[in-house]
Amino acid sequence: MNFLCQNCGKMYEITSLNYTCSCGGLFDFQGTFIGEMKEMVSLGEPVTPIITKSFNNYPLKLKLDHLMPTGSFKDRGAKVLISALKKLGIEEVVEDSSGNAGAAIAAYCAAAGIDCQIYVPESASGSKLKQIQAYGAEVVKVPGDRDDTSRAVKKACKNNYYASHIYNPLFFEGTKTIAHEIYQQIGIPKTMVIPAGNGTLLLGVYKGFYELGNLPKIIAVQSERCAPLTQESDDTTVSASSNPTGDTIAKGIAAKNPPRKLEMLKAISDSRGQVLTVSEDEIKSSRQALWNKGIFVETTAAVAVAGAIKLFDATSSFESTGTLKTDMQDVLVPLTGTGLKEF
């Protein structure tokens, strides 16, 4: 029951205040602690349904994770991380996110009786911030941009536990449950199309299906305005205007330099997948298409649907008879978050 440095192999206790190794390496989780936990903090998480809808005459299976308690898939990671910290006696945590991760950590800390500080940019506002505050978390506003906020929380975690959705591997022990759940519902899909920012969902999907012994093809989708994965991937379908500025309407994946980028690229490669980029107009069009079907999701969720449509368009999806090829009949998109707190 330890954290293991990916670079040098040094072991750390889970309760350590270090969020990376002294050598700078990131942590993996080692042990069976999570599987042995009998008492989990719960907010009544459902088995989120899978439905099939047609987009441009292409059938897509949609995993409705926007129906989780706080409105996003990040409840999966927060549930496991905060449950483990409660069992280990951690009484106070810090996190940096003004979005879905901040809301999820704040909610599960409230349920667990753990004090929580969420660091956000001074400019943060809107319903996601109100949701974080509603759970009783202390919101710490930091002057500057997202990078300034990250630096501030890293100073704070010298004295408080950093319940990070990016650095703490216990969070990925939670997000991998989406793979186990999908397997129980429909088996292992041929292809999964996933919006990719810092990789909390992508790496969870990879880890979960890897443990099951069979990987779907993982298609990572980014906005052409923030596409850091395309800079190092050999297998990409990228718009000519792609750049990593971060200025995209899909705020949930606006990660210019994801710390686990190399892990994400390995997961895509291992699954024989690829990286796609989509335009802002394609994202908006897919978002409206989802809404028109009665599915009110956040903009980031629409990124994956836009990517799936591009995947269908870019591949030889049909047999000579006009029917879809078998692999293209089994494409699943997880819908990451609700639209109720974005507008």
CA gap 5, 92 in Å, rounded: 24
Selection from 77, 82, 150, 151 nearest residue 111 by Cα: 82
Cβ atoms within 10 Å, residue 250: 26
Please give the biggest Cα pair distance in the chain: 65
**Structural domains of the chain, ranges and CATH numbers in brackets:** 1-31 (no CATH), 50-73+169-334 (3.40.50.1100)
Cα 195 versus chain centre, distance: 8
Tokens of residue 217, six digits: 């093809």
Q: Is the dihedral of CA 38, 44, 50, 55 positive or negative?
A: negative
Query: Whole-angstrom Cα distance, residue 167 to residue 95?
Result: 10
72: helix, strand or coil: strand
The pLDDT value given to residue 239: 43
Structure tokens of 141? 């506003």
Partners of 337 in the beta sheet? 72
**Helix (H) and strand (E) counts for the chain?**
11, 14
Report whether 273 contacts 220 (CB < 8 A).
yes
Q: Residue 65 class from Cβ within 10 Å (0-12 exposed, 13-18 middle, 19+ buried)?
A: buried
Local confidence pLDDT in tens for the 343 residues of the chain: 799 999 999 999 999 999 999 999 999 998 765 666 778 999 999 999 999 999 998 999 999 999 999 999 999 999 999 999 999 999 999 999 878 999 999 999 999 999 999 999 887 878 889 999 999 999 999 998 777 888 999 999 989 999 999 999 999 999 999 999 999 999 999 999 999 999 999 999 999 999 999 999 999 999 999 999 986 655 554 443 445 666 899 989 988 889 999 999 999 999 999 999 999 999 999 999 999 999 999 999 999 999 999 999 887 666 666 677 666 789 999 999 999 988 7
Q: Please report, for residues 67, 107, 226, the alpha-carbon distance to residue 82 in angstroms, rounded to integers and kept in the order given.
A: 20, 10, 30
pLDDT of residue 317: 63
